[in-house]
Structure 1
Amino acid sequence: MNLPEYEYRGLIAEAWDVLRGDTSNWADRHFYLAVIRQYGQPVLDVGCGTGRLLLDYMQQGIDIDGVDNSPEMLAICRHKADQLHLQPALYEQYLECLALPRKYQTMLVPSSSLQLITDLAAVEQVMARLYEHVLPGGVIVASFMTLWQAGEPLTSEEEQTAVRAADGVAFRRVARTWFDPVSDCEHTEDVYQKIIDGHVVEEALYRRSPATRSYSQSQARALFERAGFQHVRLLSGFTNDAAKPEDRLFTVMGHKPLAV
C-alpha cells in the first residue's frame, strides 16, 4: 500500500499547540471523558498528536495509549509527558496498517481525524483495522464535520496568529481552501510563519490535494456499519442528543458485538 507523506511536520507541528491555545474547556474533552467513564478502559486515542486529550486523561489515572503517523507530533507529546512525569505508550503508525499489541474497550477518534484519509478504499481499510483493535463489547467514538453544503462558497481564506508564552515567538498561519463537490474533498494551501521580534525568521508552504473528505451524516453512519459496528448512533456535536439533520458537527458512536 502506498501511504501518503505524513502531514503534521515542520512548522505545522511546532505551531500546533500555540495556534490552538487553551483547549482545557473544549467540549470534546468533557464528552470523551464521559464516554470513557461509561464504557471503560483501556482507551486508544487515535491521532493523538501532541497529547491534548491523552495527557489530560493520563493525569486522571486513565489507562490510555496513543497512535499517530507524525513522529514530530509524537516527539512533542513525549516532551510534554516528561514534564508531567508521565510515560505514555505512543505508537508511530499509519491507521491503514494499524497493528498494536493490545485491544481497547473504548476507542476515540477526535478532531475529525478520519476525514484526513481521503481515499475511499483506504478509509475502508482503516475502519477494518480499527474494528480489529476494539474489544468485543467495546465502543468507538469519532467526530465528523460536513465541510460544504450546496449554495455555499467553494473557496475560503483565514488568517491566525498566536504567541508562544514561553519565549514570545509568534506563529502565523494563512489558510486557503478549495472544495470540490464532485469528489466531496477539500484542497488546502497553508502558509506558516515563525516570527521573532516582528521579523519572519522561517516560512513554509504546505499544499495538500486532496486534504480532507467531507461526510454527510448518512455517509458516516454507513462507513461504521460496513465495518461491522452495531447500534450506530449519531450525536449532535459533543452531546448525548441525537444529531439533528442540520448539524454540521456530529459524533458517531458504534459498538462492536460481544460475539465475533
Structure 2
Amino acid sequence: MDPADFYTGIVAELYGPLKSVSQDPEPYAAVIQQAGLPALELGCGDGEPLLGLRRQGLDVDGVDSSADMLERLRRQADELDIRVTVFQQRMEALNLPRRYRTIFLAGPTFTLLPDDATALAALRGIRAHLAEGGTVLVPLFTPEPTPAEQIGRVRTASAPDGAELRVSVVAEQRDETARTQTTLLRYERHHGSDSTVEERPWVLHWYPLGQFEKLATSAGLAVTAITDLQGTPTSADTPDLVHFKLQAT
C-alpha cells in the first residue's frame, strides 16, 4: 500500500462524507455532457476520475497543488496511453490558458481551503476561468468532531517493501466561530531498525449555506441548485456531502 493512500484512507474513515465520494467517472461525465466542454477538474490528485473521463475522449484538464500527486497521475496516464493536460497550481491562484464550460471538484477539496478569504480567492479564480453559460460543481460538507474513542487509536497496514505503516489521531481542535476543525495525525513507518514518525495537521473549513452564497455572490457566481451527485435536489443542512451548482451572474 502506498503511504499516501494509507494516510488518505484514514482521513476518509474519519470523515464519513469523504468515503462516499464517487471516483466513478460516469456521474461527472453526465455533468459535463449537460454543461458542456471543455471541462476542468480542480484538485485532480493522482487521476481519478480525470483519467476515466479522458479515456472516454472528453476534453478535460486537471489542476492540483501537489507535484507528487501529478507525477503519479502522469505515470498512470503513460501506462494507460492516455493524453492528459494538467497544471500544478493552487486553487486560490488559478492562472490557466483557457476557459471552461464545466469546472468541477470530484471531492470536498474546497473544505481544505483554510478560511473565507482563501475560499473567495478560489471562487474568483473559478469565475475568471468559466466560459459564458458555464457551470461549476462544488461539493461541500460539515465535518463531525472525531469521536473520543478514535483519539489515540492506531491503524496499521503493510507497505509493498514490508514496512509497517501506522496512523493515529493525536489531537483535535474545533473552532465553531472560525468554522475550522484541525485534526493532528501521526504517521509512522517502521522497517527493521529504521523508523520515521511525522505529524500532519488536517484542517477542514466548512460553510453554512448563507455564507457560501455570500462568497459566491462576491465572486460573481450564484448558487442555482443544491443536489446529490446524481443531481437529485437535497438540503444543504444534511451532514452528508452535497453538491452546489453555480453559474455566473
TM-score by length of 1: 0.78
Q: Are the aligned partners of 1:147 and 1:215 in contact in 2 as well (CA < 8 Å)?
A: no
Corresponding position: 1:54 with 2:50: yes
Corresponding position: 1:190 with 2:188: no
| Structure 1 residue corresponding to 2:95, chosen from 70, 82, 99 | 99
| Structure 2: runs of 5+ lacking an equivalent | none
Deviation at 1:227, TM superposition (A): 1.7
Q: 1:200 to 1:186 in 2, by over 3 A?
A: farther
Q: Are the aligned partners of 1:142 and 1:252 in contact in 2 as well (CA < 8 Å)?
A: yes
Between the aligned partners of 1:222 and 1:203, the Cα distance in structure 2 is 41
Q: Are the aligned partners of 1:146 and 1:214 in contact in 2 as well (CA < 8 Å)?
A: yes
Amino acid corresponding to residue 64 of structure 2 in structure 1: D
Percent identity between the two aligned chains: 24
| Structure 1: runs of 5+ lacking an equivalent | 1-10
Instruction: Tell me which residue corresponds to 1:240.
Output: 231
CA RMSD across the alignment: 3.1
Deviation at 1:229, TM superposition (A): 1.9
Deviation at 1:79, TM superposition (A): 1.4
Q: Are the aligned partners of 1:154 and 1:178 in contact in 2 as well (CA < 8 Å)?
A: no
Q: Are the aligned partners of 1:41 and 1:105 in contact in 2 as well (CA < 8 Å)?
A: yes
Q: Are the aligned partners of 1:221 and 1:252 in contact in 2 as well (CA < 8 Å)?
A: no
Q: Are the aligned partners of 1:193 and 1:201 in contact in 2 as well (CA < 8 Å)?
A: yes
Instruction: Tell me which residue corresponds to 1:132.
Output: 128
SS in 1 for 2:114: coil
Between the aligned partners of 2:56 and 2:222, the Cα distance in structure 1 is 30
Between the aligned partners of 2:142 and 2:221, the Cα distance in structure 1 is 21
Q: How does 1:36-185 map to 2 (within 5 A)?
A: 36-148=32-144, 157=151, 160-163=155-158, 171-175=165-169, 176-185=171-180
Q: 1:170 to 1:82 in 2, by over 3 A?
A: farther
Deviation at 1:18, TM superposition (A): 7.0
Q: 1:17 to 1:207 in 2, by over 3 A?
A: closer
Q: 1:160 to 1:41 in 2, by over 3 A?
A: farther
SS in 1 for 2:48: coil
Which of 188-197 and 106-115 deviates more?
188-197
Deviation at 1:141, TM superposition (A): 0.2
Between the aligned partners of 1:32 and 1:131, the Cα distance in structure 2 is 20
Amino acid corresponding to residue 186 of structure 2 in structure 1: V
Amino acid corresponding to residue 229 of structure 2 in structure 1: F
Structure 1 residues 89-113: Cα deviation after superposition (integer angstroms, max 9, x where no partner): 1111122221011111111123211
Instruction: Tell me which residue corresponds to 1:202.
Output: 196
